[in-house]
Chains A and B, each alone.
Chain A
Amino acid sequence: MARDKGAMRIMAVDELAEALGIAPGMALADARARLPDLQTTPYDPASDARWLEELADSCDRFTPSVAVDPPDGLTLDITGCAHLWGGEAGLMSALAAHLVQLGLTLRLALAETPDKARALARYGGEMLRVGRKLSPRNLNEAGLGYQSQPRQTSLQDARTPRDVMDLPIHALGMPDEKITALRRAGLRTLGDLAVRPRAPLAARFGKAMVAQLARILGEEDVRITPRRVPPDISVVHRFADPIGHSDTISATLQSLATAAVQQLAQRGKGGRAFALMLFRSDGQVQRLSIGTGQATRDPNLVLRLFQERIETLADPLDPGFGYDLIRLDIAETEPLEADQLGLGERDTPDRALNLLTDRLSVRLEAGRVRRFAAADSHIPECAGFTVPAAHPLLPLAHHAPVSGEPPLRPLHLMDPPQIVQVIAEVPDGPPRRFRWRRQVHDITAYEGPERLSAEWWKRRDGAGLTRDYYRVEDHAGRRFWLFRHGLYGREKDSPDWYLHGLFG
């Protein structure tokens, strides 16, 4: 239940409540009047969405291309995946069995385009619940969008135009007033619409409606946007009995890696990002990913990095009742010359260094191993931009120091800048003395200000405070980089001072 327009309303009901006449949209007071024993829990869309994501994860076992259709739907693109499950019928019953086992009530449909499948699932057919015996035949009776004729091998045969035609016009997902208008015109099913010329329909009800109709009828094919980019290469191992022993898992990993690397070699490519998906028989999924700085086709390197990754897990791998499917995806590939491996140059300095950064990236997480990258900005913190070591951005150009000039930029940059108390003779003059971390520094030498304005052209309001940077040295010879944030009198009445960096 949730609060809607001042009244508590029922958002969703379970099977029993539905049987007793409670429906979503009903006010809580009405429902209570009918059923005093009604148990309610607050509506929590965020955790529903999380759960849907988890469900999508567990459906990754059927195809790498899964899209979430909020608030309560999933769309799976099973192109090229059905043969692994003994055809479309086999995949459908495996999917239904998997989801029903998780305690779901569901509507399933299979069609050649995503929108058609979505319309069939949401507005046609009957619900599948726990306790019903599942078989292809049973599924078909439940109104699923495919027919289990013996000849049926492809979607062309599985096409069910009549089913779509029978769907109510609600399936178009139009606002209520348009639906009413359609109904007043005597149009009740999609079939009524489909036989009419489209141009007048578009003129009366809008182009969007006609486009949606074309999609649902399968005339137009708009692919789903999967949650993750489907991997270039994906190798799967399914187990008749769930496995849980770590030796078996690593042996499987080894064979998967070898198989994947063979595919890479055939295409003349090397992998840069790998993901290992461990599907538990109870629907939980664990996803481990690794990346390498250089494209690789070395199965041992992949194995080593995955071992490293497994060792760094906060909670060790928990197979529960065992994994029944393990998949290795290669998410990112790059062309790789065939001769890069096996010339015995594994110990060249570059290779050793790449291995080190890869291992550290896997163990400490990739964001912790960084290098400097070029950034086109005069804002100091942007100019010292760093990226993960394996990132393809260009490195920071090295400008040779100017003869006789001291360094004008600090060796260490504070992030964020540290606020300091500064005494200056005049508010817009150089600092005389400052206090940082409970220590007072008397400034004996300074240079500045170096005035850096904010990137006003990037901001809509054109605002942003100007910074006046000073290079200062204190009585002990320590060198600091200070700035005054805002021009005195023009941008700010009492600008704050910050310490932004330490020179050696």
Chain B
Amino acid sequence: MVNIVDSHPSLAGLKRQIAALTPSAWAEGRSRVSFGLDPLDGRLEGGLARGAVHEVLPRAEGDWASASAFALIVARRAAENSGKILWLSSDAQRRRYGTPYGPGLAELGVDPDQIILVYAPDDLACLKAAADSLACTGLAALILDMGATQRLDLTASRRLALAAERSGVTALLLRPPASILASAAASRWQVAAAPSAPLPGNAPGRLTLSIALLRHRGGATPFDMVVEWNNEYRRVCEPTLLRDLPAPHQRRQMVA
């Protein structure tokens, strides 16, 4: 018996159309953005898909800076040494969390000249600028920081994902904590700050993040992990001193 769906020309056509419309960034054969840390890349089959949308959520409001640092790390890995990264944020977010800071970027191992900053006055302008940026083949990565918005719904995120796939720009969406809006993103991460391995004299150490994969279109199982960013070699590494660290309550006593 013939499958009724396949036999009907219009239905088959529709199926093909849907298949063409669905982002296939997680499909095999696409180049990937590796983190440079084997245990992490191994779980993601080589890294995050290039030319796809990835969502980054802070665990709590106060972890926003850590989430943006994680987005920057992925963008830097995608852009390598010379690719351009467009940092697009809305005015509301700029007022709330300040602006990316050139000398700070340089110290994280990102050449400030790689960054283009774009500030959009409102969510709609932000989304339009994001769509334009994702259509631009001259860009390596886009970091989109819109804060809480209803505009970035399933349709909008699917549109972004399609544009990213076509141009090969890796997009990182910074979303508010516990966003429940559905999206067409290839992966979703939750990021929080983690205590760094202190340097001599109890000085704060390198950028240390606690990251958790919440969702992955390619089928990777969710996991969580504490990682450190090596700003010298520009790669993610294991916090080597983690096991030597005293537990948080001991540390507080040490300080007090």
Contact = CB atoms under 8 A, between A and B. Distances in A.
Given A353-B136, A476-B62, A501-B101, A386 B69 contact: no
Most buried by B among A350, A384, A400: A384
Among B203, B208, B232, residue most surrounded by chain A Cβ atoms (within 10 Å): B203
Contacts of A444: 195, 248, 251-252, 255
A6 interface: no
A401 to B, nearest CB: 4
B108 A411 contact: yes
A442 B255 CA distance: 10
Contacts of B97: 412, 414, 502
A221 interface: no
B117 A386 contact: yes
B204 A406 contact: yes
A363 B129 contact: yes
A389 B99 CA distance: 16
A42 interface: no
Nearest to B137: A352
A387 B101 CA distance: 13
B199 interface: yes
B230 to A, nearest CB: 9
Given A351-B138, A444-B195, A473-B196, A407 B113 contact: no
B41 interface: no
A368 B118 contact: yes
Chain A interface residue number, banded: 35 or more
A340 B54 CA distance: 37
Contact of B98 (A386, A404, A412): A412
A475 interface: yes
B195 to A, nearest CB: 4
A411 B120 contact: no
A353 B116 CA distance: 10
A478 B63 contact: yes
A93 to B, nearest CB: 46
B132 A360 contact: yes
Contacts of B112: 371-372, 395-396, 398
B102 A386 contact: yes
Contacts of B108: 401, 407, 411, 504
Contact of B103 (A353, A409, A443): A409
B102 A384 contact: yes
A504 B232 contact: no
Interface string A333-366: 0000000000000011111111111011001100
Given A409-B101, A501-B104, A364 B119 contact: yes
A471 interface: yes
B39 interface: no
Contact of A406 (B119, B133, B199): B199
A370 interface: yes
Nearest to A481: B104
A386 to B, nearest CB: 6
Nearest to A347: B137
Interface in A360-419: 360, 363-364, 368-372, 380, 383-386, 389, 395-396, 398-415
Contacts of B101: 380, 384, 409-413, 501
25 contacts: A355-B136, A356-B138, A372-B102, A372-B112, A380-B101, A384-B104, A395-B113, A396-B106, A398-B106, A401-B109, A403-B232, A405-B107, A406-B199, A407-B108, A409-B107, A413-B99, A413-B101, A415-B99, A442-B252, A444-B251, A445-B203, A476-B192, A478-B66, A504-B108, A504-B207
Interface of B: 62-66, 68-70, 72, 84, 86, 97-109, 111-113, 115-121, 125, 128-129, 132-133, 136-139, 192-196, 198-199, 201-210, 229, 231-232, 248, 251-252, 255
